[in-house]
């Protein structure tokens, strides 16, 4: 899974300079996505997909989190039912195993970076351009450092997760 870096830039010229530098640094141009409000021209910038514009990644996170909680709750219910029925045998391991798995999945989930487009709506409304750059986790520090030091006009907006799967 990739990490998605968010950078706010004042206009298309500055954003294009960042995109060009990142491309020269080895970032795949297909992993860079630009987003602006309807009144702001993107010029030659790579446009975000509809799924990225509507922040479908947030919906996926919500479904996974809620599903995890439901499975945990069902397993807890089964465990309580087995205990109340006096079943003190190997069947108790099944709901306990499911509960442990969902607990560990929840721990992993809460450690994922969690920046979403809602945090940038005001800046986009004021004509700024949001660049979303998907890079491997090992390149996050390098790319962030490169943009911050070579483009002081870029505001770092945070880190989220991105994947090519489903166009997220």
Q: Are residues 48 and 61 in the same domain?
A: no
Q: What is the mean pLDDT of residues 2-23?
A: 92
* Domain interval for residue 92: 57-110
- What is the reported pTM? 0.70
Cβ contact 144:21 at 8 Å = no
Residue 18 and residue 30 in one domain: yes
Q: Which of 90, 110, 130 is the last residue of a domain?
A: 110
Give tens-digit pLDDT for 52-74. 777 776 777 788 888 999 999 99
Nearest to 133 by CA among 9, 38, 45, 32: 32
Question: 95, 110, 125 — which closes off a domain?
Answer: 110
Q: Which residue has the higher pLDDT, 164 or 153?
A: 153
For residue 150, name the pLDDT band (cuts at 50, 70, 90).
very high
One domain, residues 89 and 163: no
Vertex 55 angle, CA 49 and 58, to 5°: 145
* 48 and 21 inside one domain: yes
168 has a pLDDT exceeding 70: no
Q: What is the pLDDT of residues 99-114, one digit of tens each?
A: 999 988 888 766 665 6
Q: Domain ends where: 69, 84, 110?
A: 110
Walk across the sheet containing 32-35 and list its strands: 32-35, 129-135, 2-9, 155-162
Of 54, 34, 38, 55, the residue nearest 46 (C-alpha):
34
Q: Which of 61-65, 116-120, 146-150 has the highest mean pLDDT?
A: 146-150
pLDDT tier for residue 9 given thresholds of 50, 70 and 90: very high
**CA atoms of 65 and 51, how far apart (whole Å):** 19
Q: How many domains does the chain have?
A: 2
């Amino acid at each position: 899974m990739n990490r998605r870096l968010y950078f706010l830039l004042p206009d298309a010229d500055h954003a294009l300079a960042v995109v060009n530098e990142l491309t020269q640094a080895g970032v795949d141009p297909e992993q860079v996505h630009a987003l602006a409000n309807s009144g702001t021209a993107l010029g030659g910038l790579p446009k975000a997909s509809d799924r990225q514009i509507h922040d479908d990644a947030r919906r996926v996170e919500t479904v996974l989190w809620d599903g995890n909680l439901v499975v945990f709750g069902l397993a807890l219910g089964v465990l309580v039912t087995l205990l109340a029925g006096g079943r003190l045998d190997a069947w108790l391991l099944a709901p306990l195993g499911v509960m442990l798995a969902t607990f560990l999945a929840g721990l992993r989930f809460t450690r994922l970076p969690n920046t979403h487009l809602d945090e940038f709506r005001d800046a986009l409304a004021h004509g700024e351009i949001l660049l979303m750059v998907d890079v491997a986790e090992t390149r996050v520090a390098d790319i962030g450092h490169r943009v911050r030091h070579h483009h002081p006009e870029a505001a770092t907006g945070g880190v989220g997760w991105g994947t090519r799967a489903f166009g997220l």
